[in-house]
Chain A
């Protein structure tokens, strides 16, 4: 098992971690989810038939794991929503989440864009990360997300449009201040 793990790690870990990190934006959560992906992959490695590339297969599993995480989080938040104003709390959390060093070292525009990713829908973020940060092709993205090619294109188009609008709004806001 170690050999299989090592091979997967050497070939795909960096991409896998990037993908999950940009989805959840938290190092320790990303590490936990990456582990979960490896466990699922190792458990079903024998049955992997190679009908898609191992990379898109791993992204596909990573996507399931991440979406599952968001669902659980949402449920957890709903449960605790009675105890305090959840929206206020979420906003506070968003505002105080420190930027990772890699982003903090970048210019303001990149930092702003990084923050704007939070405002995208899950689907939009999935596509943006796979297409632009992971540089997957449309075909690979469609395979990883189990979507049609046209859905990838539509979502990508809408995501970029949304981010453009959001960035202009925020830049306008900053300029006004």
Chain B
């Protein structure tokens, strides 16, 4: 029998003692004054003259990279399909997966898949989701281009510069990633072009970007973002939540570009100070929307759904299993709804640091679009947990939309593409 109930815990919490601070106010003031003076003295001055050589170098490197790309034979699929940071891991993962399938004694599904794959010439056509003719792995080009999807794979992204922007939803409760094809090859410059890309009927709060502009890469290598504080405060007087989102979209955008920090400044080159967030450090740490369960946001019945990472509770320490469980439930606080049917039972089995196997039970009674939504949100969630590939196992099904079942599928490079 439980010793404590919730009422006991609340009572105990109220009894927690005050912890005495052992420093005096004078000591604090002295240290604060010292630090404030120091920061005034050492505040870096803008040296725009450094900017152009750096941009020149970056441009030269980029041109070099483009030339190098042209020298690589077009038929070399393995290069195209491996993102730069995962090729080694992928190879390892694939090798491990092959070994696992060949050698595992208890992995019946793996063995069944190998047999199925070898003789997959249409005998499974009666299966509801067995759509594709062949599906050896995601490293071929057997992608169902006519079908529904809300993600972009790396191999599809090679031809265009896809850039993911982040927008608060209308309720100011979610940060929704939306991917556009940028009009420039420079993903940093693309930050300033979002106004040209947002359609008139865009369902999210795109206005915040008008108060932000990417200026340059500074001498420390950090992107510098200028915040039009005056314009923002005129447009959003007293909006503490919107203030937070203004900061979050910078953090998420540049976090997605693998930047760890950015520099922020106001329209006069000074410190950004917002009424609720307060005076902000010039250096702002970015963050990626990691380890959050992806759910679905539906604007209306006609529109395509958006996959959205939700962090309404306990996201800091969620395991992948917990994240997947929560994907079966609508968000309690926001408008995001479940992305997985509640009767899906999913077993999570990581095979390496980069690959996880998800065995799905009870998955046979859904329309294909719902199945794809389930698999794609699972892929996005797994990506947030650091996995590069997911192997789905669903008994009796070989293919769901563009996704082969039983072989490793790359996690998407981008989510919620917008025409």
Residues of A within 8 A of B (CB): 1-2, 5-6, 9-10, 13-14, 17-18, 21-22, 27, 30-31, 34-35, 38-44, 47-49, 51-52, 57, 60-61, 64, 68, 71-72, 75, 100, 102-103, 105-106, 109-110, 113-114, 121-124, 128, 132-133, 135, 143, 146, 148, 150-151, 154-155, 158, 160-161, 163-164, 167-168, 171-172
Contact = CB atoms under 8 A, between A and B. Distances in A.
28 contacts: A1-B33, A13-B28, A21-B21, A34-B21, A35-B32, A39-B39, A43-B279, A47-B273, A57-B276, A60-B277, A60-B278, A61-B277, A64-B278, A71-B287, A75-B260, A103-B16, A128-B13, A132-B10, A133-B13, A146-B241, A146-B276, A150-B333, A154-B332, A160-B9, A164-B4, A164-B9, A167-B3, A172-B3
A164 B13 CA distance: 11
B278 A61 contact: yes
A49 B229 CA distance: 14
5 smallest A-B Cβ distances: which pairs?
A44-B279, A132-B13, A43-B279, A121-B316, A44-B273
Interface stretch (B87-95, B143-151, B194-202, B307-315): B307-315
Given A35-B31, A123-B316, A42 B36 contact: yes
A167 B4 contact: yes
A79 B280 CA distance: 26
A64, A71, A100, A143 interface centre (most CB from chain B within 10 Å): A64
A41 B278 contact: yes
A151 B333 CA distance: 6
A143 B9 contact: no
Given A9-B28, A64-B278, A155 B285 contact: no
B273 A146 contact: no
Given A40-B279, A102-B18, A161-B6, A146 B13 contact: no
Contacts of A2: 29
B273 to A, nearest CB: 4
Nearest to A102: B17
Given A110-B12, A164-B5, A31 B25 contact: no
Contacts of B275: 47-49, 51
A110 B238 CA distance: 40
B19 interface: yes
Given A6-B25, A43-B278, 11 more contacts: A18-B19, A21-B19, A42-B32, A44-B273, A60-B240, A68-B285, A122-B316, A128-B13, A143-B240, A146-B276, A160-B10
Residue among B29, B173, B278 with the most chain A CB within 10 A?
Answer: B278
Contacts of B280: 40
A14 B23 CA distance: 11
A158 to B, nearest CB: 6
B18 A9 contact: no
A168 B313 contact: no
B271 A43 contact: yes
Contacts of B298: none
B2 A168 contact: yes
Interface string B222-245: 000000000000000010110010
A64 B277 contact: yes
A154 B277 contact: no
Interface in B313-346: 313-317, 332-333
Interface of B: 2-6, 8-10, 12-23, 25, 28-29, 31-33, 35-36, 39, 173, 238, 240-241, 244, 260, 271, 273, 275-280, 285, 287, 312-317, 332-333
A132 B244 contact: no
A51 B32 contact: no
B299 to A, nearest CB: 20
A154 B313 contact: yes
A108 B45 CA distance: 55
Nearest to A5: B29
Contacts of A171: 3-4
B265 to A, nearest CB: 14
A135 to B, nearest CB: 8
A52 B8 CA distance: 33
Contacts of B17: 102-103, 105-106, 110
Nearest to B316: A121
Contact of A102 (B12, B19, B317): B19
A157 B245 CA distance: 25
Contacts of B315: 121, 123
Interface centre among B9, B31, B36, B260 (most CB of A within 10 A): B9
Nearest to B172: A148
Given A43-B271, A61-B278, A71-B287, A121 B317 contact: yes
Contacts of B6: 160-161, 164
A150 B332 contact: yes
Contacts of A124: 314
